[in-house]
Amino acid sequence: MARKEKPERVERGLYLAGKTYLACATPPGSRKVKWKTIGEVGLMEARRKRDAWAVEVRSGGISATGGKETVKEVAEAWLKHIERLVDIGELRERTLESYKTGVNIHLVRA
């Protein structure tokens, strides 16, 4: 469904369309802006979510290629993310092994 109101800038990377906040950030090495609808939240919550979104986009969590990745590339990027979660203790090593097996069997067959 299209937005009825034109988004108005609240501050850098944060826009308001009616009662809905939107966030934007640019991936490194790209000129194309990535947008995310934050929702109908308060200003402080919108700022927090905008900041988290910007960190994700700028750290490489969001691709700058604009959807032209292959399934294999996306799967490998996702597995790298899962490896980071294992490194910081959010997931177990066995979970990573299980995910790798599933990706190799169902998505990236040799």
Q: Is residue 40 a part of any domain in this protein?
A: yes
State the Cα–Cα distance between residues 57 and 80, nearest whole angstrom.
15
Is residue 1 in some structural domain?
Answer: no
Are 36 and 68 contacting, i.e. CB atoms less than 8 angstroms apart?
no
Closest by Cα among 97, 102, 40, 93 to 75: 102
The order of strands in the sheet holding 8-11 is 8-11, 14-17, 20-25, 34-39
Q: Cα(22)–Cα(87) distance, rounded to whole angstroms?
A: 32
On the question of pLDDT at 67 being above 60, the answer is: yes
User: In this predicted model, what pLDDT tens digit does every residue of 39-61 receive, in sequence order?
Assistant: 999 999 999 999 998 888 888 76
Model pTM score: 0.53
**One domain for residues 45 and 21:** yes
| Statement to judge: residues 20 and 48 lie in one domain | yes
16 lies in a domain? yes
CA distances from 56 to 19, 23, 77 (A): 24, 12, 13
The reply to whether 54 and 76 lie within a common domain is no
pLDDT digits (tens, 9 = 90+) for 6-46: 889 999 999 999 899 999 998 887 888 889 999 999 999 99
In a domain, 64, yes or no: no
**Are 46 and 87 members of one domain?**
no
- What integer pLDDT is reported at residue 1 of this predicted model? 46
Number of structural domains found in the chain: 2
* CB-CB contact of 50 with 13 (8 Å): yes
39 is in which domain, residue-wise?
8-58
